[in-house]
A and B are shown apart, each in its own frame.
Chain A
Amino acid sequence: MAEEVLLFGAWASPYSHRVEMALKLKGVEYKYVEEDLANKSPSLLKYNPIHKKVPVLVHNGNPIVESQVILEYINETWPGYPLLPKDPYERAIARFWAKFIDDKCLLAIFKASWGEEKEREKAAEEVPEFLNHLENELKEKRFFGGESIGMVDIVANFISFWVGAFEEAFGSELLTREKFPKLTNWTHQFVNNTVVKESLPPRDKLVAYLRNRFGGRNVSK
């Protein structure tokens, strides 16, 4: 039976792009299905009945959902490019940072950009604290994964590209070179990587989309 790999995604979603990056790094052939999140397809609802979200990876008819769960699955299913270190302790550290990025960083960045007033102030204080932890974790490494891109880098894709788009869309300042030199360098390394570049949405289109979708909620300069 020929292998079938489907990816249901949305062009503006960083979560969806994580999966694309991982599949490309592993050299896995897949068919991409663009979802209109305002008008979800019956397939999406069938494959992800609980959350009804993208991304969804369907491998030989089996659906896997939640981007980090999908990344672990991709890593275990296809050999070659390792997304995680071999050593269990180093894997635990990688998973810790991946969880930190999603649970804390991204949440705070969203809230700082378009949360309710009270939430926004608190989040705005948290964002630099959280980014600082990442800055310190990078140390002298080229990527969070070391010499090459790994799962933490992939999960941090939001910080490498979407944050910049946010800053442009809303005139905010989240990631500055002065405060976060290592993270800023990492951003450049990451977005210039050949595989990553292929997976990223066009910047102008993303900025326009963000302004359109979230602009109304943001009451700033």
Chain B
Amino acid sequence: MGEVKLLGTRHSPYLHRVIWALKLKGIPYEFIEQDLDNKSPLLLQSNPVHKKIPVLIHGGNPIAESVIILEYIEEKWPQNPLLPSDPYEKAVARFWVKFADEKGLSISKVLQSSGEEQEKARKESLEMLEIIEEHAPGLGQKKFFGGDKIGMVDLTLGRLAHWMGVTEEVTGVKIMEAGKFPRLEAWMKNFKEDPVIKENLPEFKDTLAVMKRHRETLLASK
């Protein structure tokens, strides 16, 4: 079928969505680490529009945007499905994937800003958590959003399981108060304990160091 290459930076939550999908489906791939301050010709060629990671290259064909890569992986390698087969349930899953993908950006903003801007991002992040806690179907009743097995919604929300904690520690800003989101907390525990996820998360202290530097650089340039 052609070899699979994955371009990314080690501590990116978006990269990890793709890593998890590949690992859950048992697809071998070659990881090619990227330096975003000095973008490689391969990256620029593979994602000329956004010049961002992750990019999946399958048999020479590049695909960019993590959620689109997940849909591609799902269609190309149907084993261990990440989406329900029923069109309506699939639509519900896609709604939550979109929601998690878009609203999750607020958590990045908390890391990347300070003062009023940061407070606004914190409130938006909180709102996202509240909506998920209240509305996400199956949360609290099933192990994962995908049911008994991890699915695309779980992968898209994966940033909560690691990167949100890193953000809170780097910035000193609390986003998720303990005890306030029982269903989400239960999900986070299940997600982090899943063997595939556990084995494919960077070290907390390493992500912490990287994100700390990232924040310092960003704020210094403003």
Contact = CB atoms under 8 A, between A and B. Distances in A.
A38 interface: no
A49 interface: yes
Given A69-B98, A89-B63, A99-B65, A76 B71 contact: no
Nearest to B72: A92
B90 interface: yes
B71 A77 contact: no
B99 A50 contact: yes
Contact of B88 (A64, A65, A66, A100): A64
Given A69-B95, A100-B49, A89 B88 contact: no
A89 B76 CA distance: 9
A88 B72 contact: yes
Interface in B135-171: 135
A50 B131 contact: yes
A50 B61 contact: no
Given A49-B135, A50-B135, A92 B91 contact: no
Interface residues of B, number: 24
A73 interface: yes
B68 interface: yes
Contacts of A188: none
Interface string A90-109: 01110110011000000000
Interface residues of A, number: 24
Given A65-B95, A66-B95, A89-B63, A73 B88 contact: yes
Interface in A86-144: 88-89, 91-93, 95-96, 99-100, 133
B94 A92 contact: no
Nearest to A99: B65
A176 interface: no
A72 B91 CA distance: 8
Q: Classify the interface of chain A: helix, strand, loop or mixed.
A: helix
Contacts of A203: none
B115 interface: no
Contact of A91 (B67, B75, B91): B75
A93 to B, nearest CB: 8
A94 to B, nearest CB: 10
B68 A99 contact: yes
Residue in A64, A93, A96, A99 with the greatest tally of chain B CB atoms within 10 Å: A96
A52 to B, nearest CB: 12
Contacts of A93: 63
B18 to A, nearest CB: 13
Contact of B65 (A64, A88, A96): A96
Contact of B98 (A62, A66, A133): A66
Contact of A76 (B69, B76, B90): B90
Interface string B65-101: 1011101100110000000000110111011001100
A92 B49 contact: no
Contact of A72 (B63, B69, B94): B94
Ranked 3 nearest A-B pairs via Cβ: A88-B75, A92-B72, A73-B91
